[in-house]
Amino acid sequence: MSDYMDDSMEQDLIEPPTEPESDIMTVHNAWIAERMTPELLPGKDVQVDAVMDQIRQQVELIEREMDQGKNNIGLVVLQTEVERIKYILRSYLRTRLYKARSPITVYLRQIDKFPIHYTRNAQYKAYMTMNEQAYLRRHIQISSMHLDASFLRQFPAKLQRLDDSAGGLSMVDEPDLSTSVFCKIVENCGDIKFGNDDVSLKKDSIFLIGYEHVRPFVLDGRIKMV
């Protein structure tokens, strides 16, 4: 590799700091989990910030090298890796925002402190960063204004609520926790009840199973999505 890049570039590629590398892997795994699970998961804002800092450092390195007229294979590899990480980061953040605004009234209740299901929704609030909460509030405000201007204001006041559950029918769209997911057991999780059978969640096993059965283990990191 030294035939294609100078010593400083080689060091940056071969011997990256241990902690940022761990942060990148954490965000990568969180990205897969967000895309594979039906509900919003705890955010990785600390690791996201660390990865963004590392991206900025690498971009500065690339710009320095290009300003010096260098354009070797090492620089191309570094640019490609930076773009790969940027894609994962963008996709992760967009997936979280998409999931947060899809079952809009579920998260609307927890942010505006509606009483129904407050305990569960308070959990989701803890999962979101302040920026995500601010985005969701604004999204809800704009959506509510649009619906009100379009037709809701023509309805009687009792029919204008977006979280109505009168008549035993709820307007709330909640995550479907029974959705099947592929998952890998990272640590032994013991046995769980699955129908009339006991299923042993042994380390390194891979399952296609309803998310609700493994949800606690996904949240505590003993099971990861694949």
Question: What's CA 77's distance to the chain center, in Å?
Answer: 27
* CATH entry, 7-101, from 3.40.50.720, 1.20.58.1030, 1.10.3720.10, 3.90.550.10: 1.20.58.1030
Residues β-bridged to residue 143:
none
| 115 or 34, higher pLDDT | 34
- How far is residue 62's CA from residue 45's CA, in Å, rounded to a whole number? 26
pLDDT tops 80 at residue 9: no
- Mean pLDDT across the chain, nearest whole number? 81
187-190 contacts at long range (C-beta below 8 A, 24 or more positions apart): 187/222, 189/214, 189/217, 189/222, 189/223
Supply 180's token pair. Answer: 């099947």
| 193 or 105, higher pLDDT | 193
* Topology, domain 180-225: Ribosomal Protein L9; domain 1 (3.40.5)
- Outline where the chain has alpha helix (H): 7-14, 18-36, 45-67, 73-101, 104-112, 118-127, 130-150, 211-219
pLDDT tens-digit readout, 143-169: 778 888 888 888 888 777 776 667 677
37 SS3 class: coil
pLDDT tens-digit readout, 64-88: 888 887 778 888 899 999 999 999 9
Where are the domains positioned within the chain? 7-101, 104-168, 180-225
Element (H, E) at 225: strand 223-225
Domains 7-101 and 180-225 share a fold: no
201 SS3 class: strand
